[in-house]
Structure 1
Amino acid sequence: MKLLLPNNVMRKMRFHMLRAGRREIGGLIMGEELSEQTFRLVDFSVDSISGTRSSFVRDDKQHERALSNFFEKTGANYRRFNYLGEWHTHPSFSVHPSSQDIHAMQDLVSCSGDVNFAVLFIAKLKWYWRFEACAYLFVREHLPSPVELIHESKAFLNYGIK
């Protein structure tokens, strides 16, 4: 699976990360399917209040509202635009998922009849400016697999996006 990261989304995420400092923040990620197994990150929700220095658990009601607004903006075209998964920051740790992160995502895809797959996107700012991220794909009854992250400028070369 490939996930394209547009500059505007990264800038918006960086802004929230700078404001949160050493606290973990996160929410939902929403995207556009460009082709089979290739998605563009279009928007995300953010809960900048709930996190601590070492954990983040999102408030469902706040993020459900963000998802509803996303569907309204995209004309409820669920085949093209939809929920991709979850994101959060690890300002004090590596961008790789903790065992708690892995279990939470496995529970999400195993216990929800509506979610066939989910991406976990983890990011951090190194030295306050360098954006680091990784993503993993979770599918029911499968081990997590890495997602290829492609920055928007490289996406233009690879996919001819205008």
Structure 2
Amino acid sequence: MPGVSGGMTAVRRRVLVRPDVIRFLDAEAGSCAGRPEAGGTLLGSRRGPDLEILGWTVPGPGDDRRPHAFTRADPRHQAAATAAWNASGGTVAFVGEWHTHPAGGVAPSAVDLRTWKRLTKANGRPMAFALVAPGEWGVFLARPGLPRPVVRRSRPIEHSGLGVVFA
């Protein structure tokens, strides 16, 4: 029986990316070529084992943007996450990050993977990450694991007016 091993059913985690977020990621994919890397946080809700991406932050003046690296350091990212948390009564929070690869390729670098695993381990919950390259973007889901978090690329499985579901 698919998904069953030793009497336990595997949980297939999903990420719903809302239409506004899709439009933002599409716009970044259309304009990131030849620019320094950019990035920010992903804001959303946890729904059981699933994540819903509702918003994002954009680079601020305190962030470090280079041709092949982005370091999120501007306090505006935390301020936006705190504001979203307060406005939602504690249901919308920091659930991941996005950044661009202007030189192309929606494949995480070794630095990306280390960073995502560190964030996921520190958070202790599944996290979503989006990579944006010229003309494309992709979603990755990281989940806590032993001895270290596991990161996998998610694929779109459903499109609707509510957004795109990745699994």
Q: Normalising by structure 2, what TM-score?
A: 0.72
Which protein is richer in helix relative to its size? 1
Question: Of the candidates 48, 61, 80, which is equivalent to residue 75 of structure 2?
Answer: 61
Change (3 A) 1:157 1:143: closer
| Residue 149 (structure 1) shift | 4.5
Instruction: Give the conservation status (yes or no) of the 8 Å contact 1:30–1:83.
Output: yes
Question: Of the candidates 22, 33, 56, which is equivalent to residue 10 of structure 1?
Answer: 22
Q: Which residue of 2 is the match for residue 153 of structure 1?
A: 159
RMSD of the TM alignment (CA)?
2.9
Aligned equivalents of 1:40, 1:69: Cα separation in 2: 17
Change (3 A) 1:94 1:76: same
Question: Of the candidates 98, 118, 122, which is equivalent to residue 109 of structure 2?
Answer: 98
Asked whether 1:44 is paired with 2:50, we answer: no
Structure 1 runs of 4+ off > 4 angstroms?
16-21, 154-159
Which protein is richer in strand relative to its size? 2
Change (3 A) 1:145 1:17: closer
| Residue 46 (structure 1) shift | 1.4
- Structural mapping, 1:64-75, within 5 Å: 64-75=78-89
Identity score, percent? 19
Structure 2: which 5+ residue stretches go unaligned? Answer: 1-12
Change (3 A) 1:20 1:48: farther
Question: Of the candidates 148, 157, 160, which is equivalent to residue 142 of structure 1?
Answer: 148
Aligned equivalents of 1:45, 1:157: Cα separation in 2: 19
Aligned equivalents of 2:163, 2:23: Cα separation in 1: 21
Q: Which has the larger radius of gyration?
A: 2
Question: Of the candidates 27, 37, 57, which is equivalent to residue 40 of structure 2?
Answer: 27
2:71 counterpart SS class: coil
